[in-house]
Amino acid sequence: MDLLYEIWGSVMRNKMRTLATGIAVASGLFLLIVLQGAGNGIIHTFDRNRGGFSFDAIHVWGGWTSRAYDGMERGRRIVLDNRAEDMVNLRFPAETKGVTSIISQSGLTVSYGTEYLASVELEGIHPRYADMASLKIVRGRMIHDLDVAERRKVILLSEKREKELSPRGKSLLNEYLLLDGKYFLVVGLYEDDQMSSQTTLYTPYTTVQTLYGRGTAIDELMISGKGLDTEQKNELFETRLRQGLGKIHTFHPEDQSAVWIWNQARDNEQMNRASSILQISLWILGMLTLISGVVGVSNIMLISVKERTREFGIRKALGATPWNIIRMIIFESIVITGTFGYVGMFAGVAFCSYMDASVGNRTLDIGVDKLQYFVDPTVDISTCLWATLVMIVSGAVAGFFPAHKASSVKPIEALRA
Amino acid sequence: MYFCPYIDISMIKLSGIHKTYEGVQPLHVLKGIDLHIKKGEFVAIMGASGSGKSTLLNILGILDDYDEGEYLLDETPIRHLKEKKAAYYRNRMIGFIFQSFNLIAFKDAMENVALPLFYQGVSRRKRNELAMQYLEKVGLRDWAHHYPNELSGGQKQRVAIARALITQPRIILADEPTGALDSRTSVEVMELLKALHRQGMTIVVVTHESGVAYQTQKIVHIKDGLIERIEDNVDPSASPFGNGSVMK
């Protein structure tokens, strides 16, 4: 407190100079925060546009064999079926959090009264799909195990399509929709993601298998991995998964084209890497700007120390130790950097909020769909805390050399000056 | 003669002090100084410029180190001290009065007086209170919140004296205390120092003005780095320049 009072006097003596330096620091921090905010906007947009899939999902589709195996020719079509799900549950309990079979029928028409939608896809899913694909039920319920077991004709409809089918705003929950000549009960409404332009209705996969004569076939197996945090583990899991499927569906365990495996976790890792590179480079840019501000502070402090040589001489003659002097200069530097740094930080945060309010929710209309291109361009509290730490450290660094110079002043020389 | 209870207690004891300034041409400034100043004495060190009197004062004030000899300040040996220790002794034992006052420009009179106590860790309220008391002693209570540039030379020197006194030091070292003052204010300042002396303070004044020197009890003449002679000025009022006047 006392020290602050001491500093106040010397800071106020050179208002203009302090202000000029302060602006350098403030603009450095302002840029740091705004760059971070903009970077976050881009990263959030990546995340948002990546859609509803959980990031660690592994998708498997049937393909065509590329090798002759077990007396069978190459070029054979492999169709996955219900056994695949059981196999994964049995063989990989440690590596998986969940697995769901997906089977879909597309090109359907759905109608309610006189309203209808064409090119509708009916996607047969398992109840676990909700968690794995982050499907959010807004009203009603998710498909449950009994629906699957009894092959019920129940569907989930998106809120957007509800409005299209019921333009007057009547709720379609617990209403029957006519889908491809069959009536389905709407048991739940799910939240649209921004990305999909297709109309997707969800129903138990067993229902699709039965209604469309698909037997036990499935189109896709979706697996959510557990503890697959390295490239190596992912690769091993994929190899073993392929072997397991090969046993059921009789294809060569190393046949790369018999089943197609898309591991989102690996994609995700690359995406994360790209995000963090972006974030780091923005930090570096911001820091460089900040450094120029800090160098300015250091310069000003050096000049100020030179001017105040006599003052330090007097202080020393009156009993100031070198440490007293060093502490005073470093504190002064931290106070200047900190005060103006916070001004810059607040301006930056305010600007980010402005960006968020003005372009943050703007969408890019690409005809069939809308794309958000700048989501939530703001910084979080940890960035601000980091920036504070950076300011204190840089203030101390900026003050160090001037302080050292000041403390080495010999009182007699200073007094003679 | 007035009664002085500390007359036999040694305050400063210098023996064989040598000081050489290193450089292209080493300068042997002090060539063996022996000096004994007792508690409560009012001593003037006189000499022409270049005689070494300022160097001697710097050594006495622990602002400079010496090469050879021994210096005891109130029985504390002062030699090759670390900066921190030197600062501590300066703060507790010595009150400085400079020719050019050396007040800090952006602090008012009270803050200037209180500054030495800041380095003793005294709280601001306490030290400002004390500063006001000392300003009152030098007759500047009403000027407490004036900045140095709003004070006359004499007033500035009185503020500096208050600042020198606030730590209750063992000795007052004054370097040409009237050097920047006109004759009238010089008298005021000297009267103040004499009053301090009467209260028992040990005071060492460095000057080249004989008018100032002859107001003290003992005059140490320095020439070419050696003590030429020590003159006892038995009756300061009988100085060649008359009582209460300072020859400028």
Chain centroid to Cα A88, Å, comes to 29
Please determine, for residue B43, whether its predicted confidence score (pLDDT) is greater than 70. yes
- Whether A321 sits inside 8 A of B104 (CB atoms) is no
Chosen from A4, A310, A315, A318 to mutate, greatest number of chain B CBs within 10 A: A318
Average pLDDT over residues A62-90: 89
* Contacts of range A77-81, beta carbons closer than 8 Å, 24 or more positions apart: A78/A249, A78/A251, A78/A258, A78/A259, A79/A217, A79/A249, A80/A217, A80/A218, A80/A219, A80/A220, A80/A221, A80/A245, A80/A249, A80/A259, A81/A215, A81/A216, A81/A217, A81/A218
Chain B residues inside the 8 Å CB shell of A13: 105-106
For chain B, the structural domain boundaries read: 41-64+82-237
Residue-wise pLDDT tens digits, A168-179: 888 999 999 999
Contact A318 B92 (CB under 8 A): no
Say which CATH class B41-64+82-237 falls into: alpha beta
Q: Which residue of A has its CA nearest to B166?
A: A318
**Backbone Cα Rg of chain A:** 33
**Per-residue confidence (pLDDT) for residue A147, from 0 to 100:** 93
Distance from the B20 Cα atom to the nearest Cα atom in chain A, whole angstroms: 15
For residues A330 and A402, the answer to whether their CB atoms sit within 8 Å is no
Other residues' Cβ atoms within 10 Å of the Cβ of residue B179:
17
Q: How far is B163 from chain A (nearest CA, A)?
A: 9
Query: What region, left, alpha or beta, does residue B246 occupy, with left being phi > 0 and alpha being psi -120 to 50 degrees?
Result: beta
Where are chain A's structural domains?
A: 2-51+269-416, 57-265
What pLDDT is recorded for position A27?
86
Count of alpha carbons within 13 angstroms of residue A274, beta-carbon side: 11
**Best mutation target, B22, B55, B91, B168, to test chain A (most A CBs within 10 A):** B91
Which percentage of chain A shows pLDDT scores above 90?
21
CA distance B120 to A248: 87
Distance from CA of A42 to the nearest CA of B (A): 51
- pLDDT value at position A229? 77
Contact criterion met (CB < 8 Å) for A319 and B98: no
Question: Cβ separation of B87 and A314 shorter than 8 Å?
Answer: no
From chain A, the residues in CB contact with B119 under 8 A are: 315, 318-321, 324
The answer to whether A318 contacts B88, with C-beta atoms less than 8 Å apart, is no
> What does DSSP say about strands A96-112 and A182-190: parallel, antiparallel, or unpaired?
unpaired
Write out chain A residues lying below 8 Å of B103, CB-based. 314
The Cα A258–Cα A70 span in angstroms is 14
For A:310-329, CB contacts with B below 8 A are 310-311, 313-324
What's the pLDDT at A374?
65
| Chain A hits for B90, Cβ within 8 Å | 316-319
Using a CB-CB cut-off of 8 Å, the residues of chain B touching A321 are 83-84, 87-88, 119
Please report the pLDDT score of residue B131 as a whole number.
95
Highest mean pLDDT among A131-140, A265-274, A396-405, B94-103: B94-103
Regarding beta strands B10-21 and B171-175, do their DSSP bridges make them parallel or antiparallel, or are they unpaired? unpaired
Put simply, the answer to whether A321 touches B124 (Cβ < 8 Å) is no
- Residues B71-86 have pLDDT tens digits of 999 888 998 888 899 9
Lowest mean pLDDT among A276-285, A322-331, B188-197: A276-285
Residue A15 has pLDDT above 70, yes or no: yes
pLDDT-derived band at A362, boundaries 50, 70, 90: low
Least confident of A3-7, A34-38, A247-251: A3-7
| Least confident interval from A181-185, A316-320, B195-199, B241-245 | B241-245
What is the structure's pLDDT at A196?
62
